[in-house]
A and B are shown apart, each in its own frame.
Chain A
Amino acid sequence: MKLKKNLAISETGFVFDPSTGDSYTLNTTGLEIIQMLREGKNPEIITRKMTKTYDVDANTFERYYYDFIGMLKQMQLVAPDEE
């Protein structure tokens, strides 16, 4: 799963998708995840980092992580699969 390449993501959690002109806002955890996704980190690494920083277990995190990915897909912020 990769983010669209040309997304503009600012430190304030503002996201601009230049291909559609839509803009979005993220909360803190959403911003952290999206930054890791952009760095190409896989779900295992993301889970490890997040469960280390936040008071959440891996199972619970997984549930909300995939819910979040679902939202990104719905908003078409995810790159079409390359293969």
Chain B
Amino acid sequence: MEKKVFERPVIKKLSAGMPAKFGLQVRHEPVTQIDGVPIKTLMEEYGSPLFVYSEKKIRQTYKEACRAFSSRYPNVLFAWSYKTNYLNAVCNVFHQEGAWAEVVSGFEYQKALVNGVSGDQIIFNGPDKSKEELELAVQNRSLIHIDHFDELYDLIEIGENSNIKPKVAIRVNMDTGIYPAWDRFGFNYENGEAWDALHRIMHADNLELLGLHTHIGTYIMGTEPYKIAASKLAELAIGLSSKFDHQLQYIDIGGGFASKNTLKGVYYPGTDTAPSFEDYADAITSVLIKANFRHNKLPLLILETGRALIDDAGYLAGTVIATKRLANGQRATILDAGVNLLFTSFWYDHDIRPAKPMSDQTEETAFFGPLCMNIDVIRKNMMYPLLKKGDPYVIQRVGAYNNTQWLQFITLRPNVVMIDEKGETHLIRKKETLQTLNKMESVPDHLKI
């Protein structure tokens, strides 16, 4: 006789309060494979925990975003936001699809060059650009988005001493109805600072003003702020055109599109509420098309959205280390991946799925990571199937910001693989070893034991 699958015994107290947190319990559909490759096989080969990227999903999402904008606007360009995910393999998928590079440091700039991106297809953003980095960017004819007056004067100086005119745009910050407004980057629209900066550039003979850039915030759940941002940039561009007879080549609306993750403390899940690319595209392009650009000549529209393009394509697979009961009787499940690998768990309620079929029984559990640190909490409480030691799990939508913000803290960073469109798996970042870290350290002779 075949034996039945064992589920650990559990007893649940029926809630007496009203309304309680959970209502009718819902099923957590298991995720057993990614693009046809079983999670089990992946972890047997590459270990646990393991980051997995789907090349198919990246390309699919990118095409979807492109279609949303290109079907509404004649001239659209995406620039891949390196800080969202600068694993070279990931960047190169975007570059193959036609995305330029958008970088915010000298290090990211170098990474883009090494990835083979041509200098004139790199957008250099951010408040931190050294004189040397700016000089290199000018030589490479990269697009430099100026963040502050100090940088503007550096560029004027570089322009004076060079035979190449720096190609620049300014970053503009503004009130788009979002509270609080991000006013620390770029030049302010409402108080006229942005217009002053544009004046200064127009009066500098050796700078070539090509565009305007803004980035209104992060995880913007509505499309209205983008309409406001697009109309303010359009107004500046049209103002330049009438005052200096200068036609800008592009408007860069930045990023900030939400992915389908659910922010902590928000009632509805992100899968139900995040605007689609269509929604964002509609808001932005409708404003630009209606703006009064001279001769109806619409500027190139650049987008730097990162999160919404990559979040869905990244998975974190792992294994349950243990389950235990807390002092108050609540279940706690300890996972082998914690906040060290999943920086985003500080702001998302991550979607954790069992990686094998489970029964409908659930119990309230907290999910902790492996760190011996009280902050290492992935989910505070969830009604969840009865996981046991050794059970596999998958956390969905982890492609953005985790492989750039992960910490080498207490444990080492694990392997990262990518599944290509044919279903072949490739190691794209090797797991760290003790040697990886030790080779950067040195112990003075008198401290050797």
Contact = CB atoms under 8 A, between A and B. Distances in A.
Please tell me whether chains A and B touch each other in their complex, using a CB distance cut-off of 8 A.
yes
Contacts of B9: 26-27, 29-30, 32-33, 64-65, 68
Contacts of B14: 22-25
A19 interface: no
A68 B8 CA distance: 8
A54 B8 contact: no
B359 A27 contact: yes
Given A23-B14, A27-B359, A54-B3, A67 B8 contact: yes
Interface residues on chain B, size class: 20 to 34
Contact of A67 (B12, B16, B325): B325
Max chain A Cβ within 10 angstroms of own Cβ: one of B5, B10, B388: B10
Contacts of A1: none
B11 A29 contact: no
A75 B4 contact: no
Interface in A48-83: 50, 52-56, 60-61, 64-65, 67-68, 70-72, 74-75, 77
Tell me the interface secondary structure of chain B in the complex: loop
A81 B441 CA distance: 60
Contacts, number: 73
B4 A68 contact: no
A54 B6 contact: yes
B4 to A, nearest CB: 5
Given A54-B3, A55-B6, A74-B329, 8 more contacts: A22-B13, A50-B6, A53-B3, A54-B6, A64-B8, A65-B9, A67-B325, A71-B11
30 contacts: A15-B11, A22-B13, A24-B13, A25-B14, A26-B10, A26-B12, A27-B9, A27-B10, A27-B361, A30-B9, A30-B10, A30-B11, A34-B11, A50-B6, A53-B4, A54-B3, A54-B4, A54-B5, A54-B6, A55-B3, A55-B4, A56-B6, A64-B388, A67-B325, A68-B10, A71-B10, A74-B325, A75-B11, A75-B13, A77-B11
Interface of B: 3-14, 16, 323, 325, 329, 359, 361, 386, 388
